[in-house]
C-alpha cells in the first residue's frame, strides 16, 4: 500500500481523550506515516478554541489590557494534555519563550500559530513520531503570497528524511523567517500540501462528521451520506453553501490527483466521503447532493432588442464594479437579464445600483426581488438524462413552491432555482424526496 497523510482537526485533538482516539486510528494502519494537527478545539459547546484564546491575548496586548490570565488558561490546557498523555516535551520552556515574544510585540500570526505548534509537539511525542516544524517548509514571499512550487520542493526534501512525522498545520513563514498563517482552512491546506509532497495514496481529513450528506440534516432528517463525489461536484455544492472543505484546501491534492477521504475521529469505522477526480455517476444516484443559501436579491432588467445592444451587459457589470460588488448568477434571455447578488454583498447599495442601471443602460423596466433563496441540485447523473428537469420542477410544483428563477450550467451537472426565503426548506425537502427517497 502507499503512504497515507492524516490531518486531524481541532475537535479531534481537543484534549487527551480525543488524542487517544487519534493514536488508535494512526496505529491501526502503518501506512499513516505523516500526521498534520490543528490547535485544540472546543471540548464542549461553551468551551473556547485555543486559537481564539491566543488571538484574545494579542487583542489584550494591543489595547494595553493585561493578558496573563488568558495566557494562563492556555498553558493550563496544554499542561493537562501533557499530563494525561504521559509525555514530557518541556512545555514550560516553550511557554516562557512564547510569553517573552508576546511581551516583545510578536505578530498576531505568530501568536495564533502557537496552538498548532504546541499540539504537534505533544502529538509527536505521544505517537512516537518525529516532530517536523512547517515554519521553514511552507513558504510565502515578502508580500505574503503563497509560494506553491517552492513549498512543494521544501516539503518533499524534508519529509524524505523522516519515515514518520507530525507537522503543525495553519502556518509557514516569510523569507525572513517570520511566521505567516493561512487566512482560511489553514490546517486543511497544510495536510493537502503534505499529501502532494509525498505523493500520498490518499489524504485523510479527520474531523467530527462522517463525511458529507446529500442535504443539510437540519432540513432533511436522516439525509443519506455521500460515499464518493468528484471535485467539480463538491465545488458546486460548496459554492452554494454546503459546509465542506475550502477550495484552497482541496487544490493541492486535486492538482496531484490524490483522493481526499473525509472521516470521523469519533466513528473511525465509518468510510466517510471520498473526493475523487473522475466525473462519473457514483452509487448510481441521479444527483450527488442538494445545497442552497438564503438572502439574495435579484435585479430583473428588461430592454427591447437587448441582444443587439452591444456593450449592454458590460455596462451593468461596470456598475457593480464601481461598488466593488460581485454577482452570483446572471441568467438571461433575448431581451432580459437578471443579476443575482447576495444581500450581504449589496450592503445597502441596492437603490444606488438600480438608479445607475436606469441612467446608464436605459432599460424599459427593472424589477427587484428581495428575500430570495438559491438551491442547487448537483450531480453528473443528471447530464443528458431525459426527464430530470421535469422531475425537479414537478416536485416543486407538488410542494406548492413558486420558482422565481432557473439557471442551468452548460455541463448539465447542476440546476439552480430561485425561490422565496420562506419556501427554502420546503423546496429542499421536495427535491430530496423526489430524487433520493
Q: Which residue has better confidence, 233 or 140?
A: 140
pLDDT confidence of residue 383: 74
Q: Give φ, ψ of 186 to 5 degrees.
A: -55, -55
Using the predicted structure, report yes or no on whether residue 280 has a pLDDT greater than 60: no
SS3 per-residue string spanning 185-237: CHHHHHHHHHHHHCCCCEEEEEECCCCCECCCCCCCCCCCECCEEEHHHHHHH
Of 50, 185, 205, 196, the C-alpha closest to 137 is 196
pLDDT confidence of residue 269: 96
Query: Which H or E run contains 277?
Result: none
* Each residue's pLDDT tens digit, 82-112: 999 999 999 999 999 999 999 999 999 999 9
Cell digits for 4? 497515507
Full strand arrangement of the beta sheet holding 414-420: 336-342, 289-302, 365-378, 414-420, 405-408
pLDDT confidence of residue 285: 74
* Each residue's pLDDT tens digit, 261-270: 999 999 999 9
What is the chain's mean pLDDT, rounded? 93
Q: pLDDT-based confidence at 243, cuts 50/70/90?
A: low
Using the predicted structure, report yes or no on whether residue 248 has a pLDDT greater than 80: no
Q: pLDDT-based confidence at 278, cuts 50/70/90?
A: confident
Q: Which domains does the chain have, with CATH numbers?
A: 4-208 (3.40.1160.10), 289-435 (3.30.2130.10)
Of 170, 240, 249, the C-alpha closest to 205 is 249
Q: What angle do CA 11, 213, 260 make, to 5 degrees?
A: 65
* Each residue's pLDDT tens digit, 204-215: 999 998 988 999
Query: If you search the block for the grid coordinates 490546517, which residue do you land on?
Result: 187
Query: What's the predicted TM-score (pTM) here?
Result: 0.84
* Each residue's pLDDT tens digit, 380-409: 878 778 889 999 999 999 999 999 888 887
pLDDT confidence of residue 126: 98
pLDDT confidence of residue 266: 97
Q: pLDDT-based confidence at 183, cuts 50/70/90?
A: confident
Using the predicted structure, report yes or no on whether residue 43 has a pLDDT greater than 60: yes
* Each residue's pLDDT tens digit, 416-433: 999 999 999 999 999 999
Q: Which range has the worst mean pLDDT, 34-38, 258-262, 360-364, 404-408?
A: 404-408
Q: Which residue has better confidence, 157 or 287?
A: 157
Tabulate helix, strand, coil % of the chain (nearest 5).
40, 20, 35
Q: Looking at the DSSP assignment, which residues form a beta bridge with residue 332?
A: 337
- Report the percent of the chain where pLDDT is more than 90: 79
pLDDT confidence of residue 341: 95
| Span 344-352, average pLDDT | 92
Cell digits for 86? 504521559
Query: If you search the block for the grid coordinates 438608479, which residue do you land on?
Result: 355
* Each residue's pLDDT tens digit, 1-23: 689 999 999 999 999 999 999 99
Bridge-based pairing state of the strands 273-276 and 228-230: parallel
- Alpha carbon distance 32, 200 (integer Å): 10
Q: Which residue has better confidence, 246 or 314?
A: 314
Determine the 3-state secondary structure of 297 from DSSP: strand
pLDDT confidence of residue 239: 72
pLDDT confidence of residue 282: 53
| Span 336-362, average pLDDT | 94
Of the segments 176-185, 250-259, 279-288, 292-301, which one has the largest average pLDDT value? 292-301
Cα 313 to its chain centre, rounded Å, is 32
Answer whether 330's CB lies under 8 Å from 336's CB: no
Neighbours of 129 (CB within 10 A): 21
Query: If you search the block for the grid coordinates 427593472, which residue do you land on?
Result: 366
Distance between first and last Cα of the chain: 37
Query: If you search the block for the grid coordinates 507530525, which residue do you land on?
Result: 166
Q: How many CA atoms lie within 13 A of 17 on its CB side?
A: 6
pLDDT confidence of residue 317: 95
Using the predicted structure, report yes or no on whether residue 342 has a pLDDT greater than 90: yes
Amino acid at each position: 500500500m502507499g503512504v497515507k497523510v492524516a490531518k486531524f482537526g481541532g475537535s479531534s485533538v481537543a484534549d487527551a481523550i480525543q488524542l487517544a482516539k487519534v493514536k488508535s486510528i494512526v496505529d491501526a494502519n502503518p501506512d499513516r506515516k505523516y500526521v498534520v494537527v490543528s490547535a485544540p478545539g472546543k471540548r464542549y459547546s461553551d468551551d473556547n478554541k485555543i486559537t481564539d484564546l491566543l488571538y484574545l491575548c494579542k487583542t489584550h496586548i494591543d489595547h494595553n489590557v493585561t493578558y496573563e490570565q488568558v495566557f494562563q488558561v492556555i498553558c493550563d490546557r496544554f499542561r493537562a494534555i501533557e499530563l494525561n498523555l504521559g509525555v514530557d516535551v518541556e512545555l514550560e520552556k516553550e511557554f516562557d519563550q512564547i510569553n517573552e515574544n508576546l511581551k516583545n510585540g510578536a505578530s498576531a500570526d505568530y501568536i495564533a500559530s502557537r496552538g498548532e505548534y504546541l499540539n504537534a509537539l505533544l502529538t509527536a511525542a505521544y505517537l512516537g513520531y518525529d516532530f517536523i516544524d512547517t515554519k521553514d517548509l511552507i513558504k510565502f514571499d515578502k508580500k505574503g503570497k503563497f509560494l506553491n512550487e517552492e513549498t512543494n520542493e521544501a516539503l518533499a526534501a524534508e519529509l524524505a528524511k523522516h519515515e514518520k512525522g507530525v507537522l503543525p498545520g495553519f502556518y509557514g513563514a516569510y523569507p525572513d523567517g517570520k511566521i505567516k498563517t493561512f487566512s482560511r482552512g489553514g490546517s486543511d491546506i497544510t495536510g493537502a500540501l503534505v499529501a502532494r509532497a509525498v505523493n500520498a495514496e490518499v489524504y485523510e481529513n479527520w474531523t467530527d462528521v462522517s463525511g458529507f450528506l446529500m442535504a443539510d440534516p437540519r432540513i432533511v432528517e436522516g439525509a443519506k451520506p455521500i460515499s464518493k463525489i468528484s471535485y467539480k461536484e463538491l465545488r458546486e455544492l460548496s459554492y452554494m453553501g454546503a459546509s465542506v472543505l475550502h477550495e484552497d484546501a482541496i487544490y493541492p491534492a486535486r492538482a496531484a490527483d490524490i483522493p481526499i477521504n473525509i472521516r470521523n475521529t469519533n466513528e473511525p469505522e465509518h468510510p466517510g466521503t471520498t473526493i475523487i477526480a473522475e466525473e462519473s455517476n457514483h452509487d448510481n444516484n441521479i444527483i450527488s447532493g442538494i445545497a442552497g443559501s438564503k438572502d439574495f436579491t435579484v435585479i430583473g432588467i428588461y430592454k427591447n432588442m437587448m441582444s443587439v445592444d452591444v456593450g449592454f451587459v458590460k455596462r451593468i457589470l461596470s456598475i457593480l464594479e464601481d461598488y466593488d460588488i460581485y454577482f452570483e448568477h446572471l441568467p438571461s434571455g433575448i431581451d432580459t437579464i437578471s443579476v443575482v447578488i447576495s444581500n450581504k454583498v449589496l450592503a445597502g447599495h441596492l437603490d444606488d445600483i438600480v438608479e445607475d442601471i436606469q441612467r446608464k443602460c436605459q432599460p424599459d423596466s427593472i424589477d427587484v426581488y428581495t428575500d430570495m433563496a438559491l438551491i442547487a441540485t448537483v450531480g453528473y447523473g443528471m447530464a443528458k438524462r431525459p426527464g430530470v428537469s421535469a422531475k425537479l420542477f414537478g416536485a416543486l410544483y407538488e410542494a406548492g413552491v413558486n420558482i422565481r428563477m432557473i439557471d442551468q450550467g452548460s455541463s448539465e451537472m447542476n440546476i439552480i432555482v430561485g425561490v422565496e426565503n420562506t419556501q427554502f426548506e420546503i423546496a429542499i425537502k421536495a427535491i430530496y424526496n423526489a430524487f433520493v427517497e
